[in-house]
Amino acid sequence: MRKIWKRIRFIYNFRSFFPFIFEFFLSKEVNRKKKLFSIAFIIGYFLLPFDAIPDFLSLIGIVDDVVIFTFIMQQMIKMAPKELQEKYCLA
């Protein structure tokens, strides 16, 4: 149950993702390999049209997109330096 609340809180902090992403890619502390890996995830998400649940099923169809986006963001946060995580309260 604790893990579920942690994920809900993570999604609630959505507004802090965009400045984090911007600084993640501009930071010299983040390895180039990690940046390329993140870019590959993001591009793959937008280019591959496969959905576990089709989007025409209204709210339920959006759930898999939110899950995938959340997974990508969690991976980027794990790869970011501690200072960057703490700056955006994502640690």
CA distance linking residue 91 with residue 83, whole number of Å: 9
Residues near 72 by Cβ (< 8 Å), separated by ≥ 6? Answer: 38, 41, 42, 45
Tell me the one-letter amino acid at 63. Answer: V
Q: Roughly what angle, to the nearest 10 degrees, separates helices 2-12 and 59-79? A: 90
pLDDT in tens for each of the 91 residues of the chain?
666 676 667 666 667 678 888 899 999 999 999 999 999 988 888 787 666 666 666 677 677 777 788 888 888 888 999 988 888 776 6
pTM (whole model) above 0.85:
no
